[in-house]
A and B are shown apart, each in its own frame.
Chain A
Amino acid sequence: DAGVIQSPRHEVTEMGQEVTLRCKPISGHDYLFWYRQTMMRGLELLIYFNNNVPIDDSGMPEDRFSAKMPNASFSTLKIQPSEPRDSAVYFCASSLGPRGQPQHFGDGTRLSIL
């Protein structure tokens, strides 16, 4: 079975540019999560969706970040404008339920903002 698929795997762009990260969750999973991982702050939850609806976006660092889930098989995380401090590995994960079900992670997008 296909796992969570993220694209691109690596992204290098200049400060001020718009960045769009993409995620395809595991089919049948109703929950989708976006995380950011850095050396300083570890793994942090940014936002999560249930049935395509954003449930909690309290982890989104600021208005430059936005996330959408137009359908059950696709989600995007957008940063506009990007800044060097946004450099991190961004992970998408999905699960069957909110509790008592493990989250399955994609391989991540390594983002570098110059």
Chain B
Amino acid sequence: GAVVSQHPSWVICKSGTSVKIECRSLDFQATTMFWYRQFPKQSLMLMATSNEGSKATYEQGVEKDKFLINHASLTLSTLTVTSAHPEDSSFYICSALPDSGRNSPLHFGNGTRLTVT
């Protein structure tokens, strides 16, 4: 149980295009989801907290107009990288917090490797 599906697994796009990444909780509801970014051989950096039905909360230094987050249902959050540039190339990972409570562990998707050429 507690599976999070992240799609696509990898994507290659040209500079200037936008890319949408989906994060779905398959067998539980998640009012809150998180988006992380990971550079090679580094740790996960929290980008934003996605809340169902309300605006996302972005961490300091993360451009909200660049990384659009939509959490339209209790099982789906999307991250859109707009007007992507090579420096946006990274590994993006979503996670979902089950509505059963804050002392529950997060469940992570398998990540999306974005390469912008």
A and B form one complex: no
The chain A residues found within 8 Å of chain B, CB to CB, are none
The chain B residues found within 8 Å of chain A, CB to CB, are none
